[in-house]
Structure 1
Amino acid sequence: MSILCIGQAVYDLTFPVNETLIENQKYRIPERHECMGAPAANAAYLCGSWGAETALLARIGNDLFGQEIVRTLKTGNVDPSLLYLDQEQATSISSIVVNKQNGHRTILNSPMKEQAFPINSPKKKPTTILVDGHELNAALEVINHYPEAVSIMDAGTYKPELAELIQAVDYLVCSEDFAYQATGIKITLEEKEQVKEVFKQLRKLNSNQLVITIGDKGCLWQDQETIQHFPAFNVEPVDTTGAGDIFHGAFAFCMDQKRSLEETIALSSAASALSVMKIGGQTSIPTLDEVTSFLAENS
């Protein structure tokens, strides 16, 4: 088995604050935290550190941030050989402000400009492919080249130009924001018919398996004609950065192990819950043993 993650790799600089920021003021943040980030990169790190044979297909710049991303991936047992070293652009970085009172984060991302780039074949045929919506050409090329692989999309934001990719994947695992942007309907769990309508409209975009993550309310998925709800675990958040990335990474790991969808969602939810109790994205990824123990204690 082999997992291939395709998309964005970013270097994160996180600044925890305990007050409302006011324009034209200076703030000293002694607790600065930095680590690798972005959906595909964080998911790849989780899968590799959990013992799956994993590679990341992404772009980085020829700079110190790019070098640090490569170093981090290696510590997580992720194959970095598919990374494209862009000589013309700087590595994508994010400045993240975390509200210490509730753990909520605000992200300022400076991305690399989207462009086609040469794609190397992975050393081993992937059995599971996770895409995050970035590097669209590469994602479509790989999914079409390995049609037998289970494909999963981490769909955080709805963009019409991603229609072909959205339709192509076996599992569309989207955020509440994506669902609202695509359907115009706000999800209210108590409104059963409203939730059914959201799934009905999303099925026009992807007729395969749908999962919707709804933050601290858990997630929804459809089991035949029945919509199921898995409540979120009750934890005290420190930093929500990367929680979705970690959910999707655990989801890909479980799919690669051929676990049931219900078990996959439970384990992914537990991994995500544990992650928000620590600061940072990649640095908050729990071990598989930690997640398994947490699930046993919170069954």
Structure 2
Amino acid sequence: MEAHESAPLKEFEKTGSTRIVTLGNAFLDTILYLPEIPDKPTKMRVMDVKMTGGGIAATAACAASKLGAEVSYWGRLGVDEVGDRIVERLSQCGVKTHGVARVKGGRSPMGTILVDQGGERTALGFIGRNLGDEADWLPLEDVSGLSGVLADYSWWQGAVALFEAANRKGIVSVLDADVGDMNAVHNLLALPEHLVFSAACLRRLTDHSDLSDALRKADGMCRGVVSVTDGERGFFWCADGQIHHVPAFKVDPIDTNGAGDIFHGAFTLGLSEKMTIEEAARFASAAAALKCACGSGWESIPDRQQVETLINGGNA
């Protein structure tokens, strides 16, 4: 693998703020709005199109930044136009990118999202190529100044390094676990303080269709608190063998794409601010619901005031 090129290391500039690092994937997404999502080969006119940022960890970073945290995104991108545009969009969201490695010969991730008139989506992703797996270049010296970290499963070697560094410092750590790479998920079960599974990932991990049974089984497989997001049904977690629940906020969705990523960013922020799990989940659920109701892409991520208004009984 060829050498990394990254921006000069910068110290966090604000004082007294909640400081978070997210690690994992970042995409440049093209969103296509369709009358309906086809279930067989066809020709169809697209109603509208939008280009925006995407990716689990990058979207979570933008959400936490919009909600008031000081956030750095750590990940790998190619030395290409797509990578340039991703870094630019992260910077526009107020996210620091000194922990982004630009890899010569690598290709940056891109996604195409199909969205129907009810807000449901189908996501197609090119996860990048020739970006390398090693994590020895990560600026782990920055971890001591953090309030929390979030990693997705897409680059488990980097997630291991970040979680181990966070654990040594007693810093809040959260894993976003999904079905894209179950081997990676297995490699990370013993590390983070909080594990937030998608429903599909939790079922596959535990071989239980019932999410309550699945959570109880996962509780015995993991070091940290296990939980699951289940769309309109809300958020569930296991504590002392008991299943707890925070319902989703009811909204009329325009686009559900990225809602889970925004949930994870807001949830990490809430825990980093010493909220209880229930408080952090309600905070994150409100952020995700508002995004679904407002539109598509990073431009539709709500701010802190909007989230608090919804939590306190206001309208989405």
Per the normalisation by structure 2, the TM-score is 0.86
The Cα of 1:13 is off from its aligned counterpart by 0.3
Q: For 1:187 and 1:98, how far apart are their aligned partners in 2?
A: 28
Partner of 2:9: none
| In the alignment, structure 1 residue 6 sits paired with structure 2 residue 26 | no
Identity %: 26
Assess if the C-alpha contact under 8 Å between 1:243 and 1:281 holds in 2. Answer: no
Aligned residue for 2:250? 234
User: SS of 2:205's equivalent?
Assistant: helix
Match of 1:94 in 2: 111
Give me the whole-angstrom Cα distance separating, in 1, the residues matched to 2:210 and 2:288: 20
Q: Output one character per residue of 1:180-230: Cα deviation in whole Å (capped at 9) or x when no partner.
A: 111222236xxxxxx2x2222112321421111111111111243421122
2-structure distance, mates of 1:255, 1:185 = 28
Q: 1:120 to 1:183 in 2, by over 3 A?
A: same
Q: Quick one: structure 1 residues 121 and 221, their matched pair in 2 at CA, closer, same or farther if it must change by over 3 Å?
A: closer
In structure 2, list runs of 5 or more residues that go unmatched.
1-17
Pick the aligned partner of 2:125 from 109, 123, 127.
Answer: 109
Shift in Å at residue 55 of structure 1?
0.6
User: What does 1:101-180 correspond to in 2, within 5 Å?
Assistant: 102-113=118-129, 115-117=132-134, 118-121=137-140, 123=142, 125=144, 126-147=146-167, 148-157=170-179, 159-180=182-203
More deviation, 245-254/225-234: 225-234
Residue of structure 2 in register with 1:297 after alignment: 313
Q: Which runs of 4+ in 1 moved over 6 A?
A: none
Q: Which amino acid aligns with 2:160?
A: L
For this pair of structures, how many residues does the alignment match?
Answer: 291
CA offsets, 1:235-269, max 9 Å, x none? 11111100100000000111111111111111111
CA contact (8 A) 1:9 1:37 kept: yes
Q: CA deviation at 1:171?
A: 0.2
Aligned counterpart in structure 2 of residue 65 of structure 1, from 82, 96, 101:
82
**Counterpart in the other structure of 2:7:** none
**Other-structure match for 1:18:** 35
Q: 2:224 aligns with which of 202, 205, 208?
A: 208
Tell me the distance in 2 between the aligned counterparts of 1:184 and 1:104: 26
CA contact (8 A) 2:66 2:301 kept: no
Q: From the superposition, tell whether residues 210 and 62 of structure 1 become closer, same or farther in structure 2 (CA, over 3 Å).
A: same
User: Which ranges in structure 1 are unaligned for 5 or more consecutive residues?
Assistant: 189-194
Q: Name the CA distance, whole Å, in 2 between partners of 1:43 and 1:224.
A: 28
**Aligned with 2:266 (options 216, 235, 250):** 250
Deviation at 1:22, TM superposition (A): 6.6
RMSD: 2.0
Q: How many Å separate the matches in 2 of 1:278 and 1:151?
A: 29
**Partner amino acid, structure 2, of 1:143:** F
